[in-house]
Amino acid sequence: MTEGRCACGAVTVRATGISRQMSACWCQPCRRFQGLVGMGLDTPADQCTITGPVRVWRSSDFAERGFCGTCGSSIWFRDIAGDIIELCPGLFHNAAGATLHHENFVERRPDAIRFDPQPQQISGAAYAAGALVIEGSAPPRDRMAGGCACGAVRFRLVGAPGACGMCHCDTCRRWTGGVNCYTGARLEDLTIEGEPELIRWASSPGARRVSCANCGGKLWYEVVTGDETGGTAGDVEIALGTLDDMGGRPLLSESYVDQRPAGYAFAGDHRRRTRAEVLAESATGGQP
């Protein structure tokens, strides 16, 4: 029996028979739902007990996704007719001991984000050939516009595309269900279209995480008064996977690398810092 939970703790998961092989998918619904890339662990649905305020988004004719209605954390993806549920690895300590095995829709992966070692590569065409049905049309190409998976939330950013960073802290992993990768902005540079219903979860005393209340799509982290890594009021970190075009943003850093599950890692010569290093630098006024 393996036990897991969402970031706020309201949703708990108990399961047996969780696959040791983790999957990653770059299709539109997956990456907008989880904030960078959809990650899953196949689990027999009848060996899985989920309790708490789960909301379900019917993402297509044949599939649905579950998320926590309190904090927005990604919980699962499933084919409605199937007997397998794909649990998000971020629910569990160390991704329940699983190792990344394959990567779907690799042609939609942004150049800056590469798993190391590289898992088995499956193109969208190859994936489609082996599947009865697939989700997700080709994404629009705009680096300064974005939205959630269901389309209820749409936003624009001003300025030029900046770099991105990654965080593997416990809260980021549980909230996204996998990897949190973001690009920094200011609240005043962010324009939300209309008045969509949002989940605004206070993830720490001075900051909150925002997701779509309808689909659970991860949107951004927002500093309200301040945070432990030196963020100031009005700083936002936009989830990379929510942007229409994820390209053109080099990966500059990975934070909390000591909390990253052993089953995946990322290539590149960017900065890597442990939790202790991040906190020590922010205490002395260094780069958050």
**Positions that interact with Zn ion (CB under 5 A):** 6, 8, 10, 68, 70-71, 73, 148, 150, 152, 167, 169, 172, 212, 214-215, 217
For residue 155, the minimal CB distance to Zn ion (Å) is 12
For residue 67, the minimal CB distance to Zn ion (Å) is 8
For residue 126, the minimal CB distance to Zn ion (Å) is 28
Question: Backbone dihedral region of 52: left (phi > 0), alpha (psi from -120 to 50 degrees) or beta?
Answer: left
State how far the Cα of 266 lies from the Cα of 241, in Å rounded to an integer. Answer: 16
For residue 252, the minimal CB distance to Zn ion (Å) is 15
For 128-163, give the DSSP string: HHT-S----PPPP--TTEEE-SSSS-EEEE-S----
Residue 2 or residue 73: which is nearer to Zn ion going by CB?
Answer: 73
For residue 134, the minimal CB distance to Zn ion (Å) is 20
CA 240 and chain centroid, separation: 9
Residue 57 or residue 105: which is nearer to Zn ion going by CB?
Answer: 57
State how far the Cα of 255 lies from the Cα of 283, in Å rounded to an integer. Answer: 15
For residue 199, the minimal CB distance to Zn ion (Å) is 9
Note every long-range contact of 199-204, with CB atoms under 8 Å and residues 24 or more positions apart, other chains counting. Answer: 199/69, 199/70, 199/71, 199/72, 201/7, 201/8, 201/70, 201/71, 201/72, 203/7, 203/8, 203/71, 203/171, 203/175, 204/171, 204/228
Residue 124 or residue 196: which is nearer to Zn ion going by CB?
Answer: 196
For residue 169, the minimal CB distance to Zn ion (Å) is 3
Residue 18 or residue 71: which is nearer to Zn ion going by CB?
Answer: 71
Q: Which of 240, 222, 217, 241 is nearest to 232 (CA)?
A: 222
Residue 74 or residue 104: which is nearer to Zn ion going by CB?
Answer: 74
Query: 207-212 and 218-223: which strand pairing?
Result: antiparallel
Residue 35 or residue 217: which is nearer to Zn ion going by CB?
Answer: 217
Q: In what order do the strands lie in the sheet containing 12-15? A: 2-5, 12-15, 48-51
Residue 206 or residue 248: which is nearer to Zn ion going by CB?
Answer: 206
> For 35-44, b where at least 16 C-beta lie within 10 A, e where not — what string?
bbbbbbbbbe
